Amino acid sequence: MNKLPSVRKILQALYYIQSNAPQDNPDRFNKVYLLKMFYFADRYHLRHFGYLASRDTYFAMKLGPVASNAYNILKKDQCNINSAEVCCLHGIEEVSEHDVKIEFQGNDELSKSYKKALDFALKEFGRNSWSQQSDISHCYPEWKNRYGANPNNLRTPMDLQDFFDDPDDKTYFSKFGKNCDPFEDDKEFLALLREDLNAIPD
């Protein structure tokens, strides 16, 4: 993406995740948990609406797919952030090395489709621990084709085309109490979205 990321939009999405996650799941404050939920929502949105709701850039890393801008924002890194939005980073409270608490954020930058994607992620993966979410993310082709194929590369750009593919091992999800891949969808519909991938709206 050429445009600088919308810090407000990313923070609103992260707050939506943290505030709507099961209250009895302590991992909802964990940075990896938030980043995996962020990814699951983006994966759903891409496979249903043809583009990433966050407009972020994804890399394959050791613990799974990572949205680059969301990752930097959670670290309160000011690089690649619009100077007018740097003040938004004050809305992130560092609780510990791995945990953060995101102060109240509005939701005016979250579209209906984005909220639908976030709700899907919360419903399907919200009760999982961050380590379980990391394991789940490792089975998807967009990660396996990049980091999984070259584990010596610490940070490999991911190809959005791969997001439309399904995992090879459908039985893998049973260990997480699921009968099938939650992202499974009509293959003809996914093929059409894949063809139109370059027609991403501004």
| Number of structural domains the chain divides into | 1
Amino acid occupying residue 48: H
**Does residue 185 lie in a domain region?**
yes
Residue 200 lies in a domain: no
Range of the domain at 53: 7-195
111, 22 Cβ separation under 8 angstroms = no
Q: Which amino acid is at 44?
A: Y
User: Mean pLDDT for each consecutive 10-residue tract of the chain (202 residues)?
Assistant: 76 98 97 98 97 95 95 86 81 95 95 98 97 95 85 85 92 88 94 79 44
**Mind giving me the DSSP string for 64-87?**
EEEEHHHHHHHTT--TT--GGGGG
Q: Token pair 């945990």 is at which residue?
A: 99
Whether 201 maps to a domain, the answer reads no
In a domain, 96, yes or no: yes
- Give the per-residue pLDDT at 201: 47
CA distance 35 to 14: 8
Q: What is the pLDDT of residue 2?
A: 46
pLDDT value of position 81: 73
Say if 1 falls within a structural domain. no
111 within domain boundaries = yes
Measured in degrees and rounded to the nearest 5, phi and psi for residue 60 equal -90, 120
pLDDT of residue 169: 85
| Rounded alpha-carbon distances, angstroms, from residue 166 to 19, 26, 144, 152, 200 | 30, 30, 11, 24, 22
For 162, other C-beta atoms within 10 Å of its C-beta total 17
Q: Is residue 38 part of a domain?
A: yes
Q: How far apart are CA 143 and CA 113, in angstroms?
A: 24
Whole-number pLDDT of residue 202: 42
Q: For position 198, what pLDDT does the model report?
A: 62
